[in-house]
Structure 1
Amino acid sequence: MQHRRSLIITLVLSFLTSCSLAAVIKRQQHNDNPFVDGSPDQGWKYLPSVTDAWLWDWVLDEATNATIPLYISAIDSSDYANIKRAVIVMPAKGRDPWGYFNSVNNALYSGAYDDPNLDRNTISIMAPGFLTELDLQAGAAKPSYLLWGKTTWVSGHNNVAPAGVTDFSSYKVIDILLEFYMNRDIFPNLEVVVVAGHSAGAQMVQRYAALRSPTTNDDRLRFWTANPGSLLWLTADRPAPDTSCDGVDDYKYGLASKIPAYAMADYNALGRDGIVERYLNRHLNYAWGLADNGAGDTRCQAVTQGASHLERGENFVSMLKDLNSGMIPSAQTVDYVPGVSHDGDGMMSSAQGINRLFQAL
């Protein structure tokens, strides 16, 4: 009898434990990245489905039918009034918006698990795709999609195809996506939009933050830039100067010349000093993994900023302080994430990443 009672107790405890683990697994959902045939160097063959997302062909300009693919949270438009926050995440060098939607979405699952006040139903995630002619040849891009050079979308340059659409900056794409979220008729209760990126996506976000023209909604706009391989330097000097390196202060590394068409009017009107002053007053959240000691961009223009992602970040922060009486600009923040290297998932799912993406106002 004693043995039977012990066996029953063991079975009950085992059942309760399995139920508890199932609950934890359900609450801590983590979606694997979908498999995609192809590669950044050979072109992607198709755009995969992603859990919790809809894949849309987003018409940016009806007159020219300028279109991009993007992933957006699978939320019915009748529920848009519930949305209080949006995160628009840029892809990295691999042109993989599906992976970065998934990274942000997984970080949101982690954040909601730890913070019961973080409601997934009030947050919309969007991940636009900036494809190239390689992707058209391989099959992922439709003939109507805007296409850029292999990495020129990172720096805000104009599209190269299709033939019927010209002079469409990748930064103009972000402008239009922001207008969608900032429209009170569509999202009446939206409080904050975060434009986020890691690695090459972080490069894109940081440069866009510098070149974007101001709007009436800038008080609701935040930029999160994590582990960029290089930065748009604000001053002409560099922490690791190299007199043999040409174009150190030209865009995309500096502001001396070669400004893209997207920002030329503002640059002509404000000059370098005006662009820098405007930038220092924008809401930027910088993040670097303390283990991100890789070289990243090995071009000499990037190396003059520092020897690694982390060192470039530390040098950039020192420059910010030099420009602002020894302090980080009041609208900006800097997070150093322990134990994380060049890892977008790790940066986004860190306590600091979750806070900046989903919680901080």
Structure 2
Amino acid sequence: MTPSTARLPQSIRSFLARALAAAAIAVVAGCAGTPAVPPAADKAAGPTAAAPQWQRVHLGSGAGYDFPVYANHRLDGDLSRIREVVLVQHGLQRNGDDYFAAGAALLKASGRNRDEVLLVAPNFPGTPDRNKGFTGMPHWSVQGWLSGEDAVEGPARVSSLQVLDDLLARFTDRARLPQVRKVTVAGHSGGAQIVHRYAVLNNVDERIRARGIELRYVVANPSSYLYFTPVRPAGSDGKSFAPYDVARCPDYNRYRYGMQDMVPYAKGADGMALYRRYAGRQVTYLAGTEDNDPNHRVLDKSCGAEAEGPTRLQRARGYLRYERYLAGPDLVMRHQAYEVVGVGHDQARMFGSQCGARAVFGMPEADNAGGAACRAPQL
């Protein structure tokens, strides 16, 4: 055990006080709060920078487009020693700086060799961010990026899901990162919504894994999930499934909750074909046992989301039952799921939990005695 892992419980406590005090409600909720002070545009971040600064990267084919990310290494520098990439996705507030700071503190606490781990926090510019220095870049509607819609402003009207494709292409490029063997894409709350939908809809997963690179997704406390068929949890206990009452919600099966009116990125996709492919992808679900408030201020309360259950915890349990319902006896699933005991809608405590830190940073539970305990889902 390294000295930093020996001090891990105190490190996580210090991290919570340090990183979350600056972000306040923004990082805890991952969805709302006072916008952070914008960083200086185009100033590259260094591993010892006092405050995270975003970097401008050029993505895509042809003319391509520029996009802002936070990272613990210069992305135009020598990345030949990087063996693992961890991508942490912000929530509705589009505060990549806070999520990067939180991830960096957990990475430090894990005792991992930071010279070998590339920590990346993409920052999707929204239309309210026109004065934050993201010039000449795509901008999305406030929630459009979260579900994979195309940008509404800027030089490239690109889907936010295509941006994730392009980021993975860059970070699995052997010419830039010849030693990369593992990529983890993690999101909490609003960030978990896009990570979950990306894990379902992308067409690059199998190609990346065929090249010997492990690709994993971590989905923590999203407000909703993407269903593959028109049924939803039914009955007083939510343990059976039936089509939802269209009189209560005519559009309950529209994307981003179901398969109707799919975003252009995935237009024409078949629900069950997507499910069978998704079952073979490496996904870890995390649900806080205290994320159970049906009136939580940033919970999605649209009828499409309410059709999945009244709280995030119940929606998570319903979706896990649904996956089993679809799988039947023969389909092999590569998904894992944990409930984080005593934790609510709190990004830092979810990813700092014993199962969260293991899923995101590969931290052994034995080295994380101070993290929240985890248990099997109560289904």
TM-score range, shorter chain: 0.7 to 0.9
Whole-angstrom CA distance in 1 between matches of 2:50 and 2:219: 25
2:170 paired with 1:158: no
Match of 2:223 in 1: 229
Amino acid at match of 1:165: A
Other structure's SS at 2:225 match: coil
What residue is the counterpart of 1:288 in the other structure? Answer: 287
Larger of the two Rg values belongs to structure:
1
Structure 1's 353 and 324: CA in aligned 2 closer, same or farther, altered over 3 A?
A: same
Give the partner amino acid of 1:301. G
Change beyond 3 A, Cα 1:41–1:289:
closer
The CA distance in 2 between the partners of 1:171 and 1:186, in whole Å, is 22
Equivalent residue, structure 1, for 2:241: none
Given that residues 86 and 124 in structure 1 are in contact (C-alpha distance below 8 angstroms), is that contact kept between their aligned partners in structure 2? yes
In structure 2, how many angstroms separate the alpha carbons of the residues matched to 1:325 and 1:195? Answer: 28
| Offset of residue 44 of structure 1 | 6.1
State the secondary structure of the residue aligned to 1:147: coil
Amino acid at match of 1:229: S
Which is helix-richer, 1 or 2?
A: 1
- Aligned to 2:107, what secondary structure does the other structure show? helix
What SS class does the counterpart of residue 87 from structure 1 fall into? Answer: strand
Q: Alpha-carbon deviations, 1:189-239, whole Å to 9, x = none?
A: 211101110001000000111110134213521111000001101231111
Contact 1:198 1:226 in 2 (8 A): yes
The answer as to 2:132 corresponding to 1:140 is yes
Percent identity for Structure 1 against Structure 2: 26
Residue aligned with 2:70, SS: strand
The answer to whether residue 320 in structure 2 is matched with residue 317 in structure 1 is: yes
Q: In the alignment, which of 117, 125, 131 is matched to residue 123 of structure 1?
A: 117
SS of equivalent residue, structure 1 residue 70? strand
- Equivalent in the alignment of 1:208: 198
**Residue of structure 2 equivalent to 1:99:** 98
1:182 is the counterpart of 2:182: no
> Deviations along 1:286-343, whole A, 9 cap, x unmatched?
1101111123111111111111000000011111111223699531100111111000
CA contact under 8 A between 1:154 and 1:200: conserved in structure 2?
A: yes
| Shift in Å, 1:74 | 2.9
| Higher deviation after alignment, 177-186 or 66-75 | 66-75
Tell me which of 298, 302, 313 is aligned to 1:299. 302
Calculate the TM-score normalised by the size of structure 2. 0.78
CA distance in 2, matches of 1:62, 1:281: 28
Contact residue 56 and residue 70 of structure 1 kept, 8 A: yes
Partner of 2:57: 58
Which residue does 2:376 correspond to in 1? none
Residue 264 of structure 2 is aligned to residue 261 of structure 1? yes
For the 8 Å contact 1:84–1:122, the answer to whether it is kept is yes
Number of aligned residue pairs: 326
Task: Measure, in 1, the Cα distance between the counterparts of 2:60 and 2:141.
Answer: 20
Could you tell me how far apart the structure 2 residues matched to 1:318 and 1:327 are?
16
Cα RMSD for the two superposed structures: 3.1
Q: Is the 8 A contact 2:229 2:272 kept in 1?
A: no
CA contact (8 A) 2:151 2:160 kept: yes
Aligned-partner SS, 1:119: coil
Aligned-residue offset at 1:119 = 2.5
Q: How does 1:334-345 map to 2 (within 5 A)?
A: 334-345=337-348
Structure 1 stretches lacking a partner, 5+ long: 1-19, 113-117
* Alpha-carbon distance in 1 for matches of 2:109, 2:216: 21
